């Protein structure tokens, strides 16, 4: 659901160095993308939101402290309209401005009346995003999953913690089914590991220990009696803390929500309960699904914490499904649930070297999950293998009668399919070798600080180019491996379309989802307060007009058609995990399977935090890289089939960090 989201420090660095880099891929996370968008100007007609902001006066506007008092409004004047029009890039004559006063006053009164309804986050707008092109006939016939040969459990000892902790879902299922290990033993093992590694990795918000032990005992009783609910029966899992779980806090990773509770379970939680899975923890997420920085500012109770990458604990795990990816990578849960709006599964899966499945938009119901963007949020699995992702998705997908965006499309993975029958493309530009261009020389001789700044820009650009060049060899090797598997790869060109200019829709929806947070001033409690963080983004989005939102939605219709045409000749498209495709596919709903694609060696460029970038995206030696497999809408199964075959060929999914 939410979005990809890097640390605030990373965002600061990206904003600072945006002009320094060439061949820089578009943001791997929503937060990075939004910072770039903000730097470029979130254009469009901002009227009449700008007018409302200009006309609003309250004690909060005259004080640095947030106020919960109801604002009072000054009368709208022609001068206010002129100022608002200038912000919006419009011009009206004096006569036109006078004529507008009465109508705008009425609009403002209507806005205030709607605000009085105090709409909770759970109320969706009466507008349903449907990415399915007209005339499309969905396959709705649900069939059993076709798994490949068993991986075997003979080499796994029930007394060997390391082997059990990093076993796949399928292996754990076979161990449970043959009673070589019990659900209670697995649950206690994973709970112990969560306790042990959380002080270093910061991936737990709330342990659901009592619930888990009851579920594990019930699972063991059923399995002993011969009742087998399926491959997830008895397997411990962790959920991103935007999923409601009755009896436990659902904090959304943010200050001000630490005591929030719901008296119901999210639909995904219900479905995993029905499958016999055991929920052991609510895992970290960036505050309101932004990045890997969660919790509360220092001095406000519990200090904010950044979830860490188990491969390099000096680095953040990325976000916003920060804890889900980190906990899977560290062998602390059997599998996890994450969400993506614009990179929140893709980015942490890459960073932590795990497998992520961002399903087609409208495949998994979001009922009971925090809303960030009703037209972009997606719930998916983060696991150790593609096969595991498919098993989890099979348990949670399909309509629930409440989330009206969910389509009746079937997900029928077949891991026995001959992959040579698949039509496979690759995004050629994403695999091209990076190029280096030095900063533009100054027009005159530089001295002092100006010279130091220029030299720093050169060094930063050289360092980024070295990192890109090193990582490019993994992409080249991936294409060679795929061809060695008997596949014919066809180059693909993404549509030439301003996908990024549609992204302000996301910010507008997010600002609406957290409307009261901004108006009450409680946004000051959030950990991130930089220009690229949610508080400022929510405020900026309030000046994005309804007219421009609708026009962006119309542009999105064109984007849907262009992406449908681009994907039509293919069953699967292979690409590095970041770049322009991340924005395009999230806006248009196509699925992605993100898989580990090897480890950087000891000769990789170093991990080098700086004051400007204390949380670099690049992890340095012995950290993972990734590859993504895309597919047309509701063809998630085909992407899974090819990605699974790639994992069987490479074995990268078997690598895991060595923890103390």
Per-residue pLDDT, averaged over 7-22, amounts to 38
Could you state, in order of their start, the residue ranges of all structural domains in the chain? Answer: 1-43+147-603+626-660, 44-118
Instruction: Among 72-86, 178-192, 488-502, name the one with the lowest average pLDDT.
Output: 72-86
Convert the pLDDT of each residue in 293-351 to its tens digit: 998 654 444 567 899 999 999 999 999 999 999 999 999 999 999 999 999 999 999 99
Convert the pLDDT of each residue in 97-108 to its tens digit: 999 999 999 989
344 is catalytic: yes
**Percent of the residues in the chain that have a pLDDT greater than 70, as a whole number:** 88
Q: Which fold has domain 1-43+147-603+626-660?
A: Amidase signature (AS) enzymes (3.90.1300)
Q: Which of 344, 349, 545, 577 is catalytic?
A: 344
Q: Which of 8, 317, 320, 537 is catalytic?
A: 320
Give the pLDDT confidence score for residue 55 in this predicted structure. 56
Query: Per-residue pLDDT for 474 more than 50?
Result: yes
Give the pLDDT confidence score for residue 8 in this predicted structure. 39
Give the pLDDT confidence score for residue 297 in this predicted structure. 53
324 is catalytic: no
Give the pLDDT confidence score for residue 447 in this predicted structure. 80
3-class SS of residue 478: helix
- Do the strands 489-492 and 278-283 form a parallel or antiparallel pair, or are they unpaired? unpaired
Residue with the bigger pLDDT between 378 and 15: it is 378
Query: Per-residue pLDDT for 67 more than 70?
Result: no
Whole-angstrom Cα distance, residue 316 to residue 291? Answer: 9
Q: Which of 7, 240, 282, 324 is catalytic?
A: 240
Written as one string, the DSSP assignment of 176-237 is HHTTSS-HHHHHHHHHHHHHHHHHHH--EEEE-HHHHHHHHHHHHHHHHTT----TTTT-EE
Whole-angstrom Cα distance, residue 543 to residue 51? Answer: 8
Burial tier of 139 (Cβ tally within 10 Å: 0-12, 13-18, 19+): middle
Q: How far does Cα 207 stand from its chain's mean position?
A: 22
Convert the pLDDT of each residue in 258-305 to its tens digit: 999 999 999 999 999 999 999 999 999 999 999 999 986 544 445 678
Strands (E), 260-384: 278-283, 293-294, 305-306, 308-309, 312-316, 335-340, 355-358, 378-383
Q: How confident is the model at residue 56 (pLDDT cuts 50, 70, 90)?
A: low
Chain position carrying tokens 């980024």? 464
H helices of 489-606, in order, are 504-513, 515-520, 534-541, 546-567, 580-588
Convert the pLDDT of each residue in 552-595 to its tens digit: 999 999 999 999 999 999 999 999 999 999 999 999 999 999 99
Convert the pLDDT of each residue in 104-138 to its tens digit: 999 899 899 999 999 999 999 999 999 998 888 99
Strands (E), 400-510: 424-427, 489-492
Convert the pLDDT of each residue in 208-229 to its tens digit: 999 999 999 999 999 999 999 9
19 is catalytic: no
């Amino acid at each position: 659901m939410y979005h990809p989201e890097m640390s605030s420090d990373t965002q600061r660095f990206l904003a600072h160095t945006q002009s320094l880099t060439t061949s820089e891929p578009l943001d791997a996370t929503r937060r990075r993308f939004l910072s770039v968008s903000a730097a470029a100007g979130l254009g469009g007609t901002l009227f009449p939101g700008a007018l409302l902001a200009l006309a609003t006066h309250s004690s909060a506007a005259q004080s640095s402290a947030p106020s919960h008092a109801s604002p009072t409004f000054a009368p709208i004047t022609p001068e206010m309209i002129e100022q608002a029009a200038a912000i919006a890039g419009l011009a009206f004559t004096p006569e036109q401005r006078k004529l507008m006063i009465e109508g705008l006053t009425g609009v403002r009164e209507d806005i205030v009346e709607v605000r009085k309804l105090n709409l909770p986050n759970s109320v969706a707008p009466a507008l349903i995003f449907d990415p399915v092109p007209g005339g499309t006939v969905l396959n709705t016939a649900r069939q059993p999953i076709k798994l490949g040969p068993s991986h075997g459990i003979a080499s796994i000892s029930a007394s060997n913690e390391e082997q059990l902790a990093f076993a796949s879902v399928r292996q754990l299922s076979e161990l449970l089914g043959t009673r070589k290990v019990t659900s209670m033993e697995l649950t206690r093992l994973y709970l112990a590991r969560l306790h042990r590694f959380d002080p270093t990795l910061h991936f737990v918000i709330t342990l659901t220990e009592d619930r888990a032990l009851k579920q594990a005992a019930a699972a063991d009783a059923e399995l002993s009696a011969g009742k087998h609910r399926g491959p997830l029966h008895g397997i411990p899992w962790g959920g991103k803390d935007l999923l409601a779980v009755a009896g436990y806090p659902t904090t959304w990773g943010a200050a001000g929500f630490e005591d929030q509770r719901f008296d119901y379970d999210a639909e995904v939680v219900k479905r995993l309960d029905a499958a016999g899975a055991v929920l052991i923890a609510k895992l970290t997420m960036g505050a309101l699904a932004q990045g890997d920085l969660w919790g509360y500012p220092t001095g406000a109770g519990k200090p904010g914490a950044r979830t860490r990458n188990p491969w390099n604990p000096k680095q953040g795990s990325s976000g916003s499904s920060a804890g889900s990816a980190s906990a899977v990578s560290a062998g602390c849960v059997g599998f996890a649930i994450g969400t993506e709006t614009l990179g929140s599964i893709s980015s942490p899966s890459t960073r932590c070297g795990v497998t992520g499945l961002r399903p087609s938009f409208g495949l998994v119901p979001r009922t009971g999950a925090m809303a960030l963007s009703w037209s972009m949020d997606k719930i998916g699995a983060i696991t150790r293998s593609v096969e595991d992702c498919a098993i989890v998705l099979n348990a949670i997908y399909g309509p629930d009668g409440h989330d009206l965006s969910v389509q009746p499309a079937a997900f029928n993975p077949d891991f026995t399919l001959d992959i040579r029958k698949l039509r496979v493309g690759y995004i050629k530009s994403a695999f091209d070798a990076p190029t280096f261009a030095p900063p533009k020389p100054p027009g005159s001789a530089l001295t002092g600080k100006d010279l130091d700044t220029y030299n720093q820009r050169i060094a930063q650009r050289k360092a980024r180019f070295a990192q890109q060049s090193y990582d490019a060899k993994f992409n080249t090797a991936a294409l060679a491996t795929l061809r060695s598997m008997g596949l014919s790869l066809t180059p693909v060109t993404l549509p030439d379309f301003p996908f990024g200019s549609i992204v302000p829709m996301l910010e507008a929806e997010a600002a609406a989802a957290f409307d009261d947070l901004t108006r009450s001033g409680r946004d000051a409690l959030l950990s991130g307060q930089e220009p690229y963080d949610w508080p400022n983004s929510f405020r900026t989005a309030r000046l994005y007009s309804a007219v421009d939102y609708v026009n962006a939605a119309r542009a999105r219709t064109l984007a849907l058609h262009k992406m449908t045409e681009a994907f039509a000749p293919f069953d699967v498209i292979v690409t590095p995990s970041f770049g322009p495709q991340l924005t395009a596919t999230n806006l248009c709903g196509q699925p992605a399977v993100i898989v580990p694609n090897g480890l950087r060696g000891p000769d990789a460029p170093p991990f080098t935090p700086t004051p400007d970038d204390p949380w670099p995206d690049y992890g340095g030696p012995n950290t993972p890289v990734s590859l993504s497999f895309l597919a047309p809408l509701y063809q998630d199964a085909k992407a899974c089939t090819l990605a699974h075959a790639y994992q069987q060929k490479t074995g990268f999914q078997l690598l895991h960090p060595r923890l103390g």
